[in-house]
Amino acid sequence: MKKLLLVLVLLVGTLYAKKMEYQISLVGMNMDYKEYDRAGVILDSEKSDLTDITGAEVAYRFYLNESSNLEAKFLGVSGETVYKGSYIGSGLPYGSVVSTTQDTVYDLSFAYNGINTLQNGFSLLGGVAVGYRYWQRELSALQIEEYYWPSVRINAGARYQYADFSVAAKVEYQYGIDPQMSATGFSKDFQLSAADITKISVPLRYAINDKIDLSCTYIFEYQKIKESNVIYDSYGRGYLEPDSHAYNQYVKFGVIFKY
């Protein structure tokens, strides 16, 4: 289904685009993730610096006219975080176990974006999108968790253009649809109650010439996952995925090729 959507976006964009852009960016991600029990007590956490989780993002934009475009975007990052927690069932407190976790995040989206140009270099921005997010946590070779969900996304913001330089601020909300998590040792997936993301981005852009722009984008992202159902292992013991919050930051440095 995701491949079909990508083909459709590329086909429609190629047929009707007045101009096109291809953007590739290097990405650094800072993760600050925590899980909580029902009393609000922290169970475990993961943290990283911007240079610990890295990767790239590619984006295609097809401008239907001066005030709208179609966009297909894919981000992939991977790296290590510092894990603090405890062994399940040990009764030991948070922080009794410190290790590293291998994290991988993929994010795919297809968007329609509108641009309302005002006076004095200002523009209003808005758009709708569908997306898919995948996150793998490899806490050890024997404990791997995978979170995944499609989402509906809306965004709004403003942009200021001065000569060859522009700066914008955008807010995006992502509503996760039927979010799930699979874990090593369980035959069934955990059904998460919710998995939503609110994202604030500040993209800067500078035109080198008619064919190439440079870009730098800062993103702050708040991810909230709500408690799952209970799944039983082969011994009849029940487990659930607890509530969690993640405060993630991204910095992207990119080059934009215009056609």
Does the pLDDT value for residue 156 go beyond 70?
Answer: yes
pLDDT value at position 34?
97
pLDDT band, residue 66 (cuts 50/70/90): confident
Average pLDDT, the chain: 92
Q: Pseudo-torsion of CA 33, 146, 222, 112, nearest 10°?
A: 160
Lowest mean pLDDT among 55-69, 83-97, 110-124: 83-97
pLDDT value at position 81?
97
pLDDT value at position 187?
84
- Amino acid identity of 259? Y
Structure-model confidence comparison of residues 94 and 147, the more confident one: 147
pLDDT value at position 251?
98
The residues, ordered by sequence, that sit 6+ positions from 47 with a Cβ below 8 Å of its Cβ are: 31, 32, 33, 81, 82
pLDDT band, residue 138 (cuts 50/70/90): very high
pLDDT value at position 61?
95
pLDDT value at position 9?
54
The tokens for 145 are 């968790």
Closest listed residue to residue 146, CA positions, set 230, 225, 87, 199: 225
pLDDT band, residue 86 (cuts 50/70/90): confident
Beta strand pairing status for 190-207 and 212-228? antiparallel
Beta strand pairing status for 212-228 and 180-183? unpaired
SS3 185: coil
Lowest mean pLDDT among 95-99, 206-210, 249-253: 95-99
pLDDT value at position 151?
98
Whole-angstrom CA distances from 131 to 19, 119, 147, 177, 254 are 24, 33, 14, 10, 21
What is the CATH number for 84?
2.40.128.100
The tokens for 239 are 């487990």
Residues 135-160, mean pLDDT to the nearest whole number? 95
CB 10 within 8 A of CB 20: no
Q: How many domains does the chain have?
A: 1
Does the pLDDT value for residue 2 go beyond 90?
Answer: no
The residues, ordered by sequence, that sit 6+ positions from 31 with a Cβ below 8 Å of its Cβ are: 46, 47, 48, 53, 81, 103, 246, 248
CB 205 within 8 A of CB 214: yes
pLDDT value at position 233?
78
How many Å separate Cα 161 from the centre of its chain?
Answer: 27
What phi, psi does 187 have (nearest 5°)?
-80, -20
pLDDT value at position 10?
55
Whole-angstrom CA distances from 187 to 114, 177, 183, 259 are 44, 21, 8, 49
Q: For residue 201, what are the domain limits?
A: 2-258
Whole-angstrom CA distances from 189 to 145, 184, 185, 205, 258 are 10, 10, 10, 42, 43
- C-beta atoms surrounding 51 within 10 Å: 11
Q: N- to C-terminal Cα distance for the chain? A: 28
- Taking only the tens place, the pLDDT of each residue in 211-226 is 999 999 999 999 999 9
Supply the pTM of this predicted model: 0.90
The tokens for 234 are 């082969």
pLDDT band, residue 234 (cuts 50/70/90): confident
pLDDT band, residue 185 (cuts 50/70/90): confident
pLDDT value at position 163?
95
Lowest mean pLDDT among 72-81, 138-147, 170-179: 138-147
The tokens for 65 are 């006219």
- Taking only the tens place, the pLDDT of each residue in 4-43 is 555 555 555 555 567 899 999 999 999 999 999 999 999 9
